[in-house]
Structure 1
């Protein structure tokens, strides 16, 4: 099991590989990018994906549940 600190020390390529072992939770769109949220053991990772260039721009990890609000705001209740 990888810790947040270990994840942050990885290269962008290795971070992307690690994320695929996590659990996909949600996605959202912002400023022309798709941002996908994954859960890894004990932390979350956002994958910033540029659809036009078909390229991962950034991966950001965090533990704060406050950073989940942009995803929760998209939930539509019946």
Structure 2
């Protein structure tokens, strides 16, 4: 997942990258690294932009955790309903 932007533009062996990521889980960190590498490649050369954009690497994953609602134990889950 992390090296996908480099593979798309054919620069896998051209760059030596060192990254420190804090917070989130493994998947979220991998996605953040992928976005960072894609943005860096975009700044290096504008020729890479069409390929990166088509692959969707320049767009942040906008999904966020839905908030917990009052009167419920979670975002969607409801307390057990009793008819009597």
Q: Which interval holds the TM-score relative to the shorter structure? A: under 0.3
Q: Which has the higher helix share?
A: 2
Using the size of structure 2 for normalisation, the TM-score is 0.26
| Structure with larger Rg | 2
Using the size of structure 1 for normalisation, the TM-score is 0.27
